[in-house]
Amino acid sequence: MRTMPKAAPPAEAEPKPAPDTAARGCLTNVALGEVRRLCRAPAPDPLGYPRPPLDRAALALSLELAYMTYTLDLEPWMRAGWTDISIQVDNLLQSGVTVGESESASSENVRALINAWKVARARMALREHNPLAQIRGAFRQREKSDTIKAVTMLHPAGRGRYVVAIGFMGTGSRFYDWFSNFRFTTENGFHKGFAQLTDCFEQSADRILFPGAAAALGLPRLTLRNILADMRSPDSRFSLWMAGHSQGAAVMQVFCHRLLEDWGVLPGNIVGYGFASPTTAAGDTGRAPGSYPLFHVLNSEDLVPRVGALKHLGLCLRYRADDALRDAAYGWSAEPDAARERAEAETLLRHVEDTPTMLETLAAFCETMIEEKTEESLNALMEKRWSIPPLDKAFSYAGDKAGDTLKRMARYARVAYRSVSGRRMEEGTVAALRAEMAPVFRAHTVRALLGMLATRLHPPHMLSRAHRQPGSYGYIVTRGGDRLEPFVWEDVPGGLPAPRQGKGYAAFAPVGRPGAGPRAAKPRRPAGRSARNRGIGALRAGRQTRCVHDAVSGRQPASCAVYLPSVASAVRGLLWPRRRKGRRG
């Protein structure tokens, strides 16, 4: 296998980054080619852990990347200089979407058609409508979740370096996309569903290709596995930037853990931003939860970040919801009846603070529904069309009586509770919750109850609303960045993890001071070309070549071109004395 070159390539061999104004994000108006903000050196955060400085442009870029994974609108990103794009939906991988340079019109048209076909095929997979295909997809999830959805791409960062971006999509619109979220039992200390999705993405590391970068580096082939292996070095020419929303932010955490622990990637080569990130880890990960090079933006009224497992990996940034956020991003009705229904929904969800309390609430909810509603009314759920597509499909394919399904859900909640917390569920707590929920169940139909819950849960969780109106996380990034409260999770011996709060609000890196920018890739001699394996003349020539590489990368060695040849001549005179002409040995 060829060794990846470490010296910076000539300027003409590297695609030029697009200007900052070439393309901008649809939610934040950030320049999509501003990758220098993603390559900052780590520094201590407010809680003492080294990580890249919190940057407004990087936060906005991450929101745009997380949003793009839902729409697959790649055209602005490609205009901004992003290339070598791969799209994975389940086991379907569309790899190698590139931007043409200096090609004929006909070849560029062919490339555009191929790119459009790949993107269209990925979009069709995301919006699967064929009933038979949906049934096959659902059966695939019975043993292991494989509904991973991710976009991978690359952008030159200057001076021979590259930024590799991975955007993980959240839960999709297909009903079986939700199955992985409800695998609350743990696997190797992590939420089982999120860990299985990460497995599916990792298995594609050899198939995710970067043909444009390979050509620029003079390599016959460059894969994600090659890049991650190179990131074990502090002098790697690659930096990894990740982003995700909801389930996507959960996969980002598990993948980051595996990069550090299994792949040996250095944390200084990684940065990630999650939005509405669930908790993912339940056991000992081998390092402090706050030490991971990740940021998580959380809305205090969003219940999703409270559940999943027991702790986040990285620095959490909580925005305490206020009326300004609700008025701008939730779209809630101000009518008295609507406000009363939201208050009743809050009564049903009041107990949810973390995954164990959520599982207690789920068990109480299912058992209260069985007690308060007749079997006929529950079975009628399967015959109605729901405004929430996952519920509609789930009831359609359940195949059992609704009461039996609810009983199984309550039993599973108890099993998952013990797997996550290590103890049995307190039945007294569940009984108290049932008594509190019963009046609300008696006052509303089942359909109305579930509609009330959807109205309460969905708006605080959204990146954006219809017609690109700001969702809660779009509002927080664009208007609420100065009110983010930092905290990290810490392991407690003999108990559950607990959060440790930082002081005040999180501080952003100064605007207009992007720092030193990406460092030049350090030249290294390829394997097998050491001095022991080469002659003195070749050693001298090789050293002079390194001097040329140093000049390209900005280094100015003082005297290598003069001093080294003289030393080499002296050594050669000692080892191989010059023989007089005409004499034979």
Domain contains 499: no
Same domain, 69 and 109: yes
Q: What is the biggest distance separating any 2 CA atoms in the chain, rounded to whole angstroms? A: 115
H or E segment to which residue 190 belongs: strand 190-191
Q: Check: CB of residue 297 under 8 Å from CB of residue 317.
A: yes
Q: Please, which pLDDT band fits residue 137 given cuts at 50, 70 and 90?
A: low
CA distance 279 to 312: 5
pLDDT for the residue 569 = 46
C-alpha dist (Å) from residue 340 to 25, 175, 335, 456, 463: 38, 30, 9, 11, 26
Contact assessment for residue 359 and residue 413, using Cβ atoms and an 8 Å cutoff: yes
Residue environment code for 549-584, b if the CB has 16+ CB neighbours within 10 A, otherwise e? bbebbeeeeeeeeeebeeebeeeeeeeeeeeeeeee
Q: Would you state the structure tokens that stand for residue 65, as one six-digit string?
A: 């990347």
| Structural domain includes residue 235 | yes
Give domain status of residue 563, yes or no: yes
Q: Is residue 521 part of a domain?
A: no
Cβ atoms within 10 Å of 11's Cβ, excluding its own: 11
pTM: 0.81
Q: Are residues 273 and 346 in the same domain?
A: no
C-alpha closest to that of 476 among 505, 498, 501: 505
346 & 229 share domain: no
CA 256 to CA 313: how far, in whole Å?
9
Sheet strands (E) in 227-372: 238-245, 270-275, 294-299, 315-319
**Cα angle 466, 468, 473; round to 5:** 95
Q: What are phi and psi of 345, to 5 degrees?
A: -65, -35
Q: Are 382 and 396 in contact (CB under 8 A)?
A: yes
Q: Report the distance separating Cα 342 and Cα 459, nearest Å.
A: 12
- Looking at the fold, whether 290 and 404 belong to one and the same domain comes out as no
Q: For residue 513, is it within any domain?
A: no
H/E element holding 212?
A: helix 211-217
Mind listing the pLDDT tens digit for each residue in 171-207?
Answer: 876 766 777 888 888 989 999 999 999 999 999 999 9
Residue type, position 152, single letter: T
What is the residue range of 565's domain? 531-575
State the residue for tokens 């959204």: 462
| Residues 156 and 82 reside in one and the same domain | yes
H helix intervals, 423-485: 427-443, 446-457, 472-479
Same domain assignment for residues 87 and 155: yes
Q: What is the pLDDT of residues 7-62, one digit of tens each?
A: 444 443 444 444 445 689 999 999 999 998 998 899 999 899 999 999 999 999 99
Q: Are residues 316 and 387 in the same domain?
A: no
Same domain as 470, residue 454 = no
* Residue 514 within a domain: no
The predicted pLDDT at position 97 comes to 66
Q: Is the residue at 512 inside a domain?
A: no
pLDDT in tens, 410-447: 999 999 999 999 999 999 999 999 999 999 999 998 88
Q: Tell me the residue type at 153.
A: M
Cα separation of 246 and 181, whole Å? 10
Q: Is the pLDDT of residue 315 over 90?
A: yes
Q: Tell me the per-residue pLDDT of 379-409, one tens digit each, with 9 for 90 and over.
A: 665 555 444 455 444 444 444 577 888 899 9
Give the CATH number of the domain where residue 118 resides.
3.40.50
State pLDDT tens for residues 361-377: 999 999 999 998 876 66
User: Does 383 fall in a domain?
Assistant: yes
| 357 and 319 within one domain | no
Read off the pLDDT of each residue in 107-134 and give the average, rounded to a whole number.
Answer: 59
pLDDT at 129: 55
Polymer length in residues for the chain:
585
Residues 323 and 371 in one domain: no
Structure tokens at 577: 């004395």
204, 126: one domain: yes
Judgement on whether residues 446 and 483 belong to the same structural domain of the protein:
no
Domains: count for the chain:
3
The CA distance from 58 to 36, in Å, is: 9
- Write down the residue that tokens 């998580």 correspond to: 296
pLDDT band for position 114 (cuts 50, 70, 90): low
